[in-house]
């Protein structure tokens, strides 16, 4: 008799009662994986005042949403979140459990995996079923991709960064079940989060940007990095970087693109002063047009882009920036007057 498979789950995140984008992206992928297995796609969300968030998850592809709603869960609590999630997993036995590779997910996923005594693949860039129906989890490793499967333990767990998958178009007419779950009382919490202090987000989010400028060590100095920043401003682009830029202190860790950073899928990607190593390029997912500026003609980046410029970026970028500004100024002056 063929073993009955469990559902595919997404542990959804919320901030201020709004479902995080990465959770909707994971839900879109979970829906496809569930359809391939012929099982349900379900989600878990914890917080407070989550009625609208639960409906958003159903519109995004969930057949059923487990909702833990209480004032003291409005802010993330690692141990209560783990306990509630693991209790639900043990009761309903999902086949797959996906979490975002976020600050929350990177803490909660290993806590849950250890409690459930199952495997976990972190920061995956691809998910698919193998010939035996196991979840094949692809991660960057050794300059390429490595596949991991967990054939003997369930659920099969993975974390995935924002931007790797596309969220499905919401269908407000979808029907689904919202299931309230028991939440431990506030007095049962060993630790309580009093406040989460968040830095102001950048004007253009890397994962959402149509145009991304990414700078590397070739910027040479903090002054050279400012030229890269000026290019991003001139183009109205999001500004990303590679690991050496973070190590030099020219840009924050939150701007890093790659294996240990963010995943981007822009319409246009421009790499400036970077070599194009796999650890970085694995973070550039499905860019439609790619260009690069590097003074080394043998740089690996030139094998991966549509247009390459062999030049020191500190010499080339100021000229390019002026050309962009002049073009935009000309377009502004030549624009026909609006008709009221």
Domains and CATH numbers, the chain: 8-188 (3.40.50.620), 206-334 (3.40.50.1220)
User: For residue 214, what are the β-bridge partners?
Assistant: 240, 271
- Tell me what pLDDT residue 137 has: 87
- Tell me what pLDDT residue 1 has: 44
Radius of gyration over every alpha carbon of the chain, rounded to an integer in angstroms: 23
pLDDT higher than 70, residue 72: yes
Q: pLDDT band at residue 337, thresholds of 50, 70 and 90?
A: very low
- Tell me what pLDDT residue 129 has: 87
DSSP characters for 32-47? HHHHHHT--EEEEEEE
Report the candidate in 305, 306, 247, 317 with the shortest Cα–Cα distance to residue 276.
305
Report the candidate in 22, 25, 77 with the shortest Cα–Cα distance to residue 46.
77
CA 191 from centroid of its chain's CA atoms:
28
Q: Are 53 and 166 in contact (CB under 8 A)?
A: no
Q: Is the pTM of this model over 0.85?
A: no
- Tell me what pLDDT residue 187 has: 57
Strand 126-129's sheet: what is its strand order? Answer: 126-129, 135-141, 144-148
Q: How many residues are listed for the chain in this entry?
A: 340
pLDDT tens digits, residue range 111-154? 999 999 998 988 888 889 888 888 888 887 655 677 888 888 89
């Amino acid at each position: 008799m063929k073993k009955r498979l469990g559902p595919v789950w997404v542990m959804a995140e919320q901030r201020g009662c709004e479902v995080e984008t990465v959770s909707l992206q994971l839900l879109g992928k979970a829906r496809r994986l569930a359809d391939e297995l012929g099982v349900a796609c379900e989600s878990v969300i914890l917080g407070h005042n989550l009625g609208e968030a639960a409906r958003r998850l159903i519109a995004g592809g969930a057949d059923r949403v487990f909702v833990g709603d209480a004032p003291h869960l409005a802010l993330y609590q690692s141990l209560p979140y783990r306990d509630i999630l693991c209790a639900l997993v043990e009761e309903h036995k999902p086949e797959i459990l996906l979490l975002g590779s976020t600050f929350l997910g990177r803490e909660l996923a290993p806590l849950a995996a250890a409690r459930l005594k199952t495997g976990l693949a972190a920061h995956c860039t691809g998910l698919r079923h193998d010939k035996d129906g196991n979840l094949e989890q692809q991660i960057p490793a050794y300059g390429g991709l490595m596949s991991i499967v967990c054939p003997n333990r369930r659920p099969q767990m993975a974390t995935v960064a924002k931007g790797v998958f596309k969220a499905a178009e919401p269908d407000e007419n979808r029907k689904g079940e919202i299931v309230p779950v028991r939440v431990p009382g506030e007095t049962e919490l060993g630790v309580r989060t009093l406040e989460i202090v968040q830095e102001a987000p950048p004007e253009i989010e890397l994962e959402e940007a149509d145009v991304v400028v990414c700078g590397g060590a070739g910027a040479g100095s903090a002054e050279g990095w400012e030229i890269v920043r000026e290019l991003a401003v001139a183009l109205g682009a999001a500004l990303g970087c590679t690991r050496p830029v973070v190590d030099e202190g020219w840009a924050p860790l939150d701007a890093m693109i790659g294996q240990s950073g963010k995943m981007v899928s822009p319409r246009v990607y421009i790499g400036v002063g970077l070599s194009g190593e796999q650890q970085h390029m694995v973070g550039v997912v499905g860019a439609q047009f790619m260009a690069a500026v590097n003074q080394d003609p043998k740089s690996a980046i030139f094998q991966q882009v549509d247009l390459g410029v062999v030049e020191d970026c500190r010499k080339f970028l100021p000229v390019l920036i002026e050309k962009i500004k002049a073009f935009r100024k000309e377009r502004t002056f030549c624009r026909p007057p609006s008709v009221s």
